[in-house]
A and B are shown apart, each in its own frame.
Chain A
Amino acid sequence: MKLNLKIWRQSDASASGKLVDYKVDINPEMSFLEMLDVLNEELARKGEDPVAFDHDCREGICGACSLYINGRPHGPMQTTTCQLHMRHFKDGETIIIEPWRAAAFPLLKDLVVDRSAFDRINHAGGFVSVNTGSAPDANEILIPKTESDEAFNSAACIGCGACVAACKNASAMLFVSAKISHLALLPQGQPERERRAENMVAQMDAEGFGACTNTGACSIECPKGISMSNIALMNRDFIFASLTSKPELKVSEGA
């Protein structure tokens, strides 16, 4: 099948970018990224700079791939770009490929953006403070299957950033709430629950992500189907935390 591509090219963060036209002739069984591989091989042979894009596992789990395809993050299907196959496009179609666009995800080159803001939000509290070696037996704390399954659903987030890309405000609420809910739903997450919500939300704001207006585009476009109900749970924890937050007690450790 023959396709017309319009791809965002930008040599580095400070350069100005533009959409550049390319034509490819490919097999409809290819994945979207394999289609870009074909283009890049052709470009390299002609001595032109290949298109830079992030990708790694190509199994839909690492979260490295991104791409705004015809105005939708990860394209027309609810999946990651690496799991999107060309059979979902029509012969002769024009496909516009852009990077994620959000102030908190600065562009590095072509279709590659810097998503380290997500890591920094996790540094602020996306963990249970348990040192290696100090864990009790795994079956000591029973967790009802339904709660554990719910926690899993939130923990399934792959950190790709499609939620931010989909949001008109570039809000990261779905991403942040998925981590907060995952740990809030489990007994192990309880001791730090409120502090976690406060700290992660504060870091999210500091990174320059926008506010949430409950449009729901994030959840619709999420390749892992992370639910909006996570945001409700996060808001609850955040409000509870801000109402009940206490100054840290100073305790003498003794001799």
Chain B
Amino acid sequence: MKLDSKIPEGPLAEKWTKHKFNLKLVNPANKRKYTIIVVGTGLAGAAAAASLAELGYNVKAFSFHDSPRRAHSIAAQGGINAAKNYQNDGDSVYRLFYDTIKGGDYRAREANVYRLAEVSVNIIDQAVAQGVPFAREYGGTLANRSFGGAQVSRTFYARGQTGQQLLLGAYSALNRQIASGKVTMYTRTEMLDVVTVDGKARGIVTRNLVTGKIESHAGDAVLLCTGGYGNVFFLSTNAMNSNVTAAWRAHKKGALFSNPCYTQIHPTCIPVSGDYQSKLTLMSESLRNDGRVWVPKKVGDNRPPDQIPEDERDYYLERRYRSFGNLVPRDVASRNAKMVCDEGRGVGPTKLAVYLDFADAIKRDGEQKISEKYGNLFDMYEKITGENPYKMPMRIYPAVHYTMGGLWVDYNLMTNIPGLYALGEANFSDHGANRLGASALMQGLADGYFVIPYTIGDYLAGMNPSTDKVSVDHPEFKKAEQEVMDMTKKLLSINGTKTVDDLHKELGKVMWEYCGMARNAEGLKIAKQKIKEIKADFWKNVRVLGKNEELNQSLEKAHRVADFIELGELMVDDALARNESCGGHFREEYQSEDGEAERDDEHYAYVSCWEYKGPGQEEELHKEELIFENVKLTKRSYK
């Protein structure tokens, strides 16, 4: 298979500008003749749907939630990066590009990342114009803070609820287009298949989550803005309903899935407390601006934190990484937390936690200032744990948070299926092997507001909007509908002894143990076998009650978990095929003496692109070589 990333020629800083000029345009009178299907209405989807409707396209937008405002983008806390250099501290588009490429451990495309940094500044302008209430200084200008992996302050924020405010901004833009009639919004509607006709994406099959009705929708292009797959681990910081189904079913229709093993384990989450736990809660990385991470120096030191004197504490991030200290990137912070816990120096009842201590910051700035910055996070911590972080250090531990892998897309965000696009966390393109904090919001909005509105025209201009129409009566739609109905029928008829959650938890445990924060070949082989067993067990023993023609939450979950199991297998294959450590993918066999990740640029500076070959078949690996013309690949050091 030939993969064309369509990266424009020319100097890095001019690529996007030139490309925009070279893209074909659709004239305003013709735009109304096209229908674009947008699946998922979080940051990327809502931004894309609104922006495309503003241009004059007809948009059909789909969300499995009861309202677009529920999308999990809403839970992003800390902020959004942009190379505004409002702080006069040496930031620039190039520096944001450089930090992101380096943060991603040199496993992302230079051109994509540069474009991301370039449009980051427009996102802030757009959000402010929509009425997003970012934090401000007394003089009325916008405030910034710093985040992991950067030595400048370029993160814009709205208390600890930046994702909420940005999503509500995109939601408001979407609402305006719904009111204008350019967007038709379908809520409580879940996509269960992509339909291709003559090799092009022409529509989707959906299930109405209230009535169970299976329906087809046709269009001229399909955008998947359906988020990440962190819930493959069962326990993650993702929302309960976040799932991989849209992306996975597209994969089974031929879309390549890239870098599935790149998962981000976020260092600052509230530790697991029992098996009943349904999800993990993130404490924003911004807390590492003022909080100091430590564990006792002695193994098995069970004294309460306030009785451990200063010289018996190990502020291990400050000790090991002098220049970045507590603000090292997420993968580094997570791995170090695991290391000190593996040494037996973990704290709290499970010993799988480290302290995040604000005592010094409170002494320096006063409780009020700290409360202004982090009040809602401290409250949330107290509600969940029953402990007051103003008095006692927080206990934190890494948890699955974000997935850098996703559907393969070219520079235009199009997958290898013509007319099928993937935006935001659903694609693989911008974060390499590790995403920097405050860059997810940036990428989702960049894709939706400022990339797809330009690139989609180039594809649509090549179609004749009058003669190239496909209706939902086309046999391919009927076939896809039938497949969805058959799968649903099968799930409902097994009537075994295990609940969907039982099987999902089994899968999650295997993924976390063998394909989590650290992996090795031996463990991955065990995982592969175990997942095969879980898959067989699922299709033999799952119990899904009720019927299709009703609101049936077990059935929704069953569809999603069936896909997570298959994805789990592919993640393991990908992790096994990548014989190096990079970013979120840490293979224990490939580390330096002091435990730092060791990349192998000679053999692995590529994007893995997996092709589905049919049920039960091994997937085929294709490679997109990464070419670095502007940055020199160095050992990522934060010391």
Residues of A near any B CB (own CB < 8 A): 11-12, 26-27, 29-31, 33-34, 37-38, 41, 44-45, 47-50, 52, 54-64, 77, 79, 83, 85, 87, 108-109, 112, 114-116, 118-119, 122-124, 126-139, 141-145, 148-149, 151-152, 155-156, 158-159, 182-183, 186, 188-189
Contact between A132 and B50, CB atoms less than 8 A apart:
yes
Contact between A159 and B67, CB atoms less than 8 A apart:
yes
- Distance in angstroms from A116 CB to nearest chain B CB is 7
Question: Of residues 136 to 165 in B, which have CB atoms within 8 Å of A's CB atoms?
Answer: 136-142, 158-159, 161, 163-165
Given contacts A62-B74, A87-B386, contact A128 B69 (CB under 8 A): no
Contact between A145 and B75, CB atoms less than 8 A apart:
no
Given contacts A131-B54, A135-B126, A136-B125, contact A62 B172 (CB under 8 A): no
Contact between A61 and B550, CB atoms less than 8 A apart:
no
Docked complex Cα distance between A62 and B68 (Å): 10
| CB pairs A–B below 8 angstroms (16 shown) | A30-B274, A34-B277, A38-B276, A41-B499, A47-B545, A56-B70, A119-B69, A127-B172, A128-B172, A132-B47, A132-B449, A132-B450, A133-B450, A138-B124, A155-B158, A188-B130
Contact between A122 and B175, CB atoms less than 8 A apart:
yes
Given contacts A57-B75, A63-B70, A64-B65, contact A152 B122 (CB under 8 A): no
Contact between A12 and B501, CB atoms less than 8 A apart:
no
- Distance in angstroms from A104 CB to nearest chain B CB is 14
Given contacts A44-B499, A62-B72, A139-B141, contact A54 B66 (CB under 8 A): yes
Contact between A115 and B278, CB atoms less than 8 A apart:
no
Q: Chain A residues near B54: list those with CB within 8 A.
A: 131-132
7 tightest A-B CB contacts, nearest first: A142-B140, A135-B129, A127-B172, A152-B133, A135-B125, A132-B51, A138-B128
Given contacts A44-B545, A61-B75, A155-B165, contact A128 B130 (CB under 8 A): yes
Cβ-neighbour of B137 out of A27, A60, A145 (below 8 A): A145
Docked complex Cα distance between A185 and B178 (Å): 25
Contact between B130 and A50, CB atoms less than 8 A apart:
no
Docked complex Cα distance between A148 and B134 (Å): 8
- Distance in angstroms from A99 CB to nearest chain B CB is 13
Contact between A118 and B554, CB atoms less than 8 A apart:
no
Q: Chain A residues near B133: list those with CB within 8 A.
A: 148-149, 151-152, 155, 182, 186
Q: Chain B residues near A30: list those with CB within 8 A.
A: 274, 276
Question: Of residues 204 to 235 in B, which have CB atoms within 8 Å of A's CB atoms?
Answer: 210
- Distance in angstroms from A74 CB to nearest chain B CB is 12
Docked complex Cα distance between A42 and B136 (Å): 50
Given contacts A138-B128, A138-B142, A182-B133, contact A123 B175 (CB under 8 A): yes
Q: Which residue of A lies closest to B552 (CB)?
A: A52
Most buried by B among A31, A124, A132, A186: A132
Contact between A52 and B140, CB atoms less than 8 A apart:
no
- Distance in angstroms from B49 CB to nearest chain A CB is 11
Given contacts A83-B380, A128-B129, A135-B125, contact A108 B210 (CB under 8 A): yes
Q: Chain B residues near A47: list those with CB within 8 A.
A: 543, 545
Given contacts A127-B175, A131-B54, A182-B133, contact A63 B69 (CB under 8 A): yes
Cβ-neighbour of A127 out of B84, B130, B137, B281 (below 8 A): B130
Question: Of residues 578 to 618 in B, which have CB atoms within 8 Å of A's CB atoms?
Answer: none
Given contacts A41-B499, A56-B72, A59-B281, contact A130 B276 (CB under 8 A): no
Docked complex Cα distance between A130 and B240 (Å): 33
Residues of B near any A CB (own CB < 8 A): 47, 50-51, 54, 65-72, 74-75, 84, 86, 122, 124-131, 133-142, 158-159, 161, 163-165, 168, 171-173, 175-176, 178-179, 185, 187, 210, 239-241, 273-274, 276-279, 281-282, 380, 383-384, 386, 449-450, 453, 497, 499, 501-502, 543, 545-546, 550-551, 553-554
- Distance in angstroms from A224 CB to nearest chain B CB is 9
- Distance in angstroms from B514 CB to nearest chain A CB is 25
Q: Which residue of B lies closest to A38 (CB)?
A: B276
Docked complex Cα distance between A152 and B278 (Å): 30
Docked complex Cα distance between A101 and B537 (Å): 41
Contact between B543 and A44, CB atoms less than 8 A apart:
yes
Q: Chain B residues near A109: list those with CB within 8 A.
A: 210, 550-551
Contact between A108 and B281, CB atoms less than 8 A apart:
no
Docked complex Cα distance between A114 and B187 (Å): 11
- Distance in angstroms from B177 CB to nearest chain A CB is 9
Contact between B168 and A155, CB atoms less than 8 A apart:
yes
Q: Chain B residues near A132: list those with CB within 8 A.
A: 47, 50-51, 54, 126, 173, 449-450, 453
Q: Which residue of A lies closest to B279 (CB)?
A: A58
Given contacts A128-B131, A133-B122, contact A57 B175 (CB under 8 A): no
Q: Which residue of A lies closest to B372 (CB)?
A: A149
Docked complex Cα distance between A70 and B550 (Å): 28
Cβ-neighbour of A137 out of B125, B171, B274 (below 8 A): B125
Q: Chain A residues near B450: list those with CB within 8 A.
A: 132-133
Most buried by B among A116, A127, A144: A127
Q: Chain B residues near A116: list those with CB within 8 A.
A: 66-67, 187
Contact between B278 and A62, CB atoms less than 8 A apart:
no
Q: Chain A residues near B141: list those with CB within 8 A.
A: 139, 142
Contact between B175 and A27, CB atoms less than 8 A apart:
no
Given contacts A57-B75, A62-B239, A138-B125, contact A49 B501 (CB under 8 A): no
Cβ-neighbour of B239 out of A56, A119, A126, A130 (below 8 A): A56
Q: Chain B residues near A112: list those with CB within 8 A.
A: 551
Docked complex Cα distance between A153 and B273 (Å): 32
Contact between B499 and A37, CB atoms less than 8 A apart:
no
Contact between B241 and A56, CB atoms less than 8 A apart:
yes
Q: Which residue of B lies closest to A123 (CB)?
A: B179
Q: Chain B residues near A151: list those with CB within 8 A.
A: 131, 133
Docked complex Cα distance between A82 and B289 (Å): 28
Q: Chain A residues near B502: list those with CB within 8 A.
A: 41
Docked complex Cα distance between A139 and B86 (Å): 9
Docked complex Cα distance between A34 and B136 (Å): 38
Contacts A44-B554, A132-B47 given; 7 further ones with Cβ under 8 A? A12-B551, A34-B278, A59-B281, A85-B386, A124-B179, A132-B126, A138-B127
Contact between A136 and B131, CB atoms less than 8 A apart:
no
Docked complex Cα distance between A37 and B554 (Å): 12
Q: Chain B residues near A108: list those with CB within 8 A.
A: 210, 551
- Distance in angstroms from A83 CB to nearest chain B CB is 5
- Distance in angstroms from A236 CB to nearest chain B CB is 19
Contact between B75 and A138, CB atoms less than 8 A apart:
no
Contact between B72 and A27, CB atoms less than 8 A apart:
no
Q: Chain A residues near B279: list those with CB within 8 A.
A: 58
Given contacts A108-B551, A124-B179, contact A57 B72 (CB under 8 A): yes
Contact between A52 and B176, CB atoms less than 8 A apart:
no
Q: Chain A residues near B135: list those with CB within 8 A.
A: 148
Contact between A57 and B172, CB atoms less than 8 A apart:
no
- Distance in angstroms from B532 CB to nearest chain A CB is 25
Docked complex Cα distance between A45 and B542 (Å): 11
Docked complex Cα distance between A27 and B274 (Å): 9
Docked complex Cα distance between A141 and B142 (Å): 10
Q: Which residue of B lies closest to A48 (CB)?
A: B545
Docked complex Cα distance between A74 and B302 (Å): 37
Docked complex Cα distance between A132 and B176 (Å): 12
Q: Chain A residues near B168: list those with CB within 8 A.
A: 155
Docked complex Cα distance between A155 and B162 (Å): 11
- Distance in angstroms from A207 CB to nearest chain B CB is 14
Docked complex Cα distance between A57 and B127 (Å): 23
Q: Which residue of B lies closest to A109 (CB)?
A: B551
